[in-house]
């Protein structure tokens, strides 16, 4: 049966318009981008096949656009549409913080770090600089490393915080392995950074470790 022959309340587009995008499954959201299915399969079934065969939604969308074009049912046009939609999501979240909004919800910073750093093949250390009211002043990727780690220099972070006129800083880095558990090195560098920032009266609010699942807050663990 073609999707147009489904009951109206079950069609992905109609569900989205009636109940919002959050009411759709991963496969239904992907099906809207696909528009149509492959031979003998409607768009939702094709989307389910893509998700099942490629490790789920995150693994699928983490692929480079050129790699997506080789997947059955996607091709260049759909690969470009998916990559563009993902980038729009990143920029929308970035705009919320980078236009100076107050971070009333600490978890918002964790989500932002996850959007910027998750899925990268190499470890990246970044900082979000805040004013006295915890409004975002800017975000910078400061250090890049190999798949095993990034060498972090607290002095460089302090210099950037002073240049930004920051009163507080949130830092974060990704674990390409997917395991967000802080290592001994993560704990040590957090302590060094907190001490270095404290010498110039700048607060370190949190250190997020980005892996699979929700961002891990080291402050919530009592490690900041």
pLDDT tens digits for range 84-124: 888 887 777 767 666 556 665 678 889 889 988 887 878 99
189 near 152, Cβ under 8 Å?
yes
CA distance 25 to 36: 17
| Encoded tokens for 26 | 């991963």
Q: What is the DSSP string of 27-82?
A: HHHHHHHH-S--TT--HHHHHHHHHHHTTSHHHHHTS-HHHHTTSTTTHHHHHHHH
CA distance 140 to 161: 10
195 near 161, Cβ under 8 Å?
no
Q: Higher confidence at residue 135 or residue 4?
A: 135
- Mean pLDDT score, 128-133: 91
Residue 109's alpha-carbon distances to 79, 196, 207, in angstroms, are 29, 22, 10
pLDDT digits (tens, 9 = 90+) for 10-46: 888 888 888 888 888 988 888 888 888 777 788 888 8
> Among the ranges 54-58, 76-80, 151-155, 201-205, which has the highest mean pLDDT value?
201-205
Burial 109-137 (b: 16+ CB within 10 A, else e): bbbbbbbbbbbbeebbbbbbbbeeebebb
Query: Which H helix or E strand runs over 65?
Result: helix 65-68
pLDDT digits (tens, 9 = 90+) for 132-185: 988 888 889 999 886 666 788 999 999 999 999 999 999 999 998 889 999 999
Give the pLDDT of residue 62. Answer: 79
- Where do we find the tokens 């992907």? 30
Does the pLDDT value for residue 1 go beyond 60?
no
Give the pLDDT of residue 98. Answer: 60
């Amino acid at each position: 049966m073609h999707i147009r022959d489904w009951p109206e309340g079950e069609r992905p587009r109609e569900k989205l318009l009636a109940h919002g995008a959050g009411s759709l499954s991963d496969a239904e959201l992907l099906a809207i981008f696909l528009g149509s299915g492959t031979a003998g399969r409607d768009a939702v079934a094709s989307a389910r096949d893509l998700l099942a065969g490629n490790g789920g939604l995150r693994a699928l969308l983490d692929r480079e656009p050129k790699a997506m074009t080789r997947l059955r049912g996607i091709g260049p046009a759909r690969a470009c549409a998916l990559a563009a939609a993902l980038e729009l999501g990143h920029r929308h979240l970035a705009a919320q913080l980078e236009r100076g909004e107050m971070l009333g919800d600490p978890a918002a910073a964790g989500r932002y770090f996850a959007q910027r750093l998750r899925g990268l093949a190499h470890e990246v250390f970044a900082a979000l600089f805040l004013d006295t009211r915890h409004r975002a002043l800017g975000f910078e990727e400061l250090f890049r490393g190999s798949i095993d780690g990034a060498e972090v220099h607290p002095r460089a972070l302090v210099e950037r915080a002073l240049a930004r006129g920051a009163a507080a800083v949130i830092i974060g880095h990704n674990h390409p392995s997917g395991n967000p558990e802080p290592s001994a090195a993560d704990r040590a560098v957090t302590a060094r950074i907190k001490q270095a920032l404290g010498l110039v009266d700048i607060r370190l609010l949190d250190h997020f470790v980005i892996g699979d699942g929700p961002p891990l807050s080291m402050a919530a663990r009592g490690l900041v």
